[in-house]
Amino acid sequence: MENIAGKKPALSWAKNVAMATMVLIWVIPTLGLLVSSFRDRDQISATGWWQAMLPVELTARARTGTEATPEGGLYRVEGVIFDDEEAQSYFSGTPGDISAFGIRGAEPTAYPAGTTADLGDGETLTVNADGSYVWITPEEPGNRGQRVYFAAESPPKLTLDNYRTVLSGDNMGRAFLNTLTVAIPATIIPILVAAFAAYSLAWMEFPIRGLLIAGIVGLLVVPIQLALVPVLNLHNEIGVGQSFVGIWLAHTGFGMPLAVYLLRNYMAGLPRDIIECARVDGATDFQIFTKIILPLSLPALASFAIFQFLWTWNDLLVAKVFLPSADEAKVMTVKIADDLLGSRGGDWGILAAAAFVSIAVPLGVFFSLQRFLVRGLLAGSVK
């Protein structure tokens, strides 16, 4: 279609713009989360993530020094406000110019930089844009300087602090391991069981085969919600209860229809000649399965494995029901939905980091194995 004569360039321009707009809408939210997860807590509340690369105007708190020189009955204290340790803690690098300052927390920017604030009783404070200050007080300062608030631009600060906090402090590390523990066996075990069943449904003749295939197609859409209560009760009765064993079994069961369906479709599409040739060569069904079908079905097995891995990794519902609610057994989705969103609802940096920890692995899987994912999707829904 690229070479058709007389094609209008305007249309292709419009197409590019439309596509770009759509891609932006789809990517920006995730990008925002990623950027936010690396930003300093103070900066997040000061400016939006889209300004992360710009300096942020922060309000800092500091004290002046106390080394005073007497000057005509008054004491004069000079210095640079950024030398104060408390002030430094606000800024990641060299702070920019001070725009305003104040002496009370309620009005941190009451005086523009360079002006002199009258504190009463002849006491004055001047803070210049470069941070130098002059504090003149009638009394000897003693060992505490004057409280100063000021606003200054801080250079952008990207840090791994949020990740450190999430992984160490919030048990997210444990939750990560738990998610892994749930996802891997729940991905591997159904594959083999489903592959054998798929082979028999694709290549063996037996009476109610068609009925079974139809039944599996039907089970594809059964809402999991329906299975929760009876299966949990069953697990409790047979002593499995709420446990990792329970969730592995549950995921195996819930993933089985898709597994059998996908694999059967794929296997049924393998060339009949090859299977018959193996039969003429003397292979038994078991040998045909292990030596011919299984190696040839690797793409489909990979597709299903990716699906099942993403599904078990990302699942919230099954984990909430089949895993114990104790903190040490929580998977990441439960941890985020139940704990972090509640207790740290306003702590955006932590939330972003937690979310990113939980979606990093699926995203990695997605971008490295997208090919198989697409193939699996197509096998599952288009003939």
Partner 1 sequence: MNPLIQGLATIILGVGGCIGYFYASNLLLDKVLYPAKGPNIASNIRRANIIRPWLFIFPALLVLTVYLAYPVVGSAYRSLFNRSGDEFIALGNYVALLESPEFRRSFLNNALWAIFVPVMSVTAGLIAAQLSDTLKWGNIAKSLIFMPMAISFVGASLIWKFVYAVDSDIGLINAVLAGLFGAGPIDVIQIPFWNNFFLMFILVWIQTGFAMVILSAALRGIPEETIEAAILDGANPFQIFFRIKMPQIFSTIVVVWTTITVASLKIFDIVYAMTGGNFGTEILPSYMMSFMFRDDGRATSVALVIMIIVLPVMISNIRQAQKELR
Partner 2 sequence: MANLSLKNVEKTYGGAVTVLEDIDLEIETGELIVFVGPSGCGKSTLLRMIAGLERITGGELEIDGTVVNDVPPAQRGIAMVFQSYALYPHMSVRDNMSFALKIAKMPKAEIDERVNRAAKILQLDAYLDRLPKALSGGQRQRVAIGRSIVRDPKVYLFDEPLSNLDASLRVATRIEIAQLKESMPDSTMIYVTHDQVEAMTLASRIVVLAGGGIAQVGTPLELYEKPENEFVAQFIGSPAMNLITGEVIQTGAETHVRTKDGGEAISTVPTLPEDLGKTVNIGVRPEDLVAISGDGPFLYHGKVNITEALGEVTILYFHPDAEGTDPVIAKLPGIHKSMRGVDVKLTADPDKVHIFEDGQSLLYRDRPRKRITAGVH
Q: Which is nearer to partner 1, 127 or 213 (CB)?
A: 213
Q: Which is nearer to partner 1, 90 or 111 (CB)?
A: 90
Verify binding: residue 283, partner 1, rule CB under 8 A. no
Query: CB of 288: closest distance to partner 2 in angstroms?
Result: 10
Q: Which is nearer to partner 1, 82 or 266 (CB)?
A: 266
Q: What's 230-256 look like in SS3?
A: HHHHHHHHCCCCCCHHHHHHHHHHHHH
Type of residue at 262? L
Verify binding: residue 282, partner 2, rule CB under 8 A. yes
Taking CB under 8 A as the binding criterion, the range among 83-91, 93-101, 103-111, 330-338 that sits at the site for partner 1 is 330-338
Partner whose footprint covers residue 247, from partner 2, partner 1, none (CB < 5 to 8 Å by kind): none
Taking CB under 8 A as the binding criterion, the range among 62-70, 96-104, 155-163, 270-278 that sits at the site for partner 2 is 270-278
Angle between helices 348-381 and 9-37 (to 10 degrees): 130
Taking CB under 8 A as the binding criterion, the range among 62-70, 169-177, 277-285, 347-355 that sits at the site for partner 2 is 277-285
Residues near 362 by Cβ (< 8 Å), separated by ≥ 6? Answer: 309, 310, 313, 314
Spatial separation of the C-alpha atoms in residues 300 and 297, rounded to whole Å: 5
Verify binding: residue 119, partner 1, rule CB under 8 A. no
**Tokens of residue 26, six digits:** 């789809």
Please give the C-alpha separations between residue 347 and each of 42, 45, 102, 341, 354, in angstroms, as whole numbers: 10, 9, 27, 9, 11
Partner whose footprint covers residue 129, from partner 1, partner 2, none (CB < 5 to 8 Å by kind): none
Residue 10 backbone dihedrals phi, psi, to 5 degrees: -60, -40
**DSSP 8-state secondary structure symbol assigned to residue 327:** G
Q: Which of residues 223-242 bind partner 1 (CB under 8 A)?
A: 223-231, 233-234
| C-alpha atoms less than 13 angstroms from C-alpha of 97 in its C-beta half-sphere | 6
Verify binding: residue 253, partner 1, rule CB under 8 A. yes
Partner whose footprint covers residue 13, from partner 1, partner 2, none (CB < 5 to 8 Å by kind): none
Closest CA relative to residue 65, chosen from 116, 156, 132? 132
**Is residue 184 packed enough to be buried (19+ CB in 10 Å), middle (13-18) or exposed (0-12)?**
middle
Partner whose footprint covers residue 53, from partner 2, partner 1, none (CB < 5 to 8 Å by kind): none
Partner whose footprint covers residue 286, from partner 1, partner 2, none (CB < 5 to 8 Å by kind): partner 1
Verify binding: residue 205, partner 1, rule CB under 8 A. yes
**Tokens of residue 283, six digits:** 């292979």
Verify binding: residue 291, partner 2, rule CB under 8 A. yes
Q: Which of residues 12-41 bind partner 1 (CB under 8 A)?
A: 12, 15-16, 18-19, 22-23, 26-30, 32-33, 36
Verify binding: residue 209, partner 2, rule CB under 8 A. no
Q: Which of residues 152-181 bind partner 2 (CB under 8 A)?
A: none
Residue 133 backbone dihedrals phi, psi, to 5 degrees: -140, 155
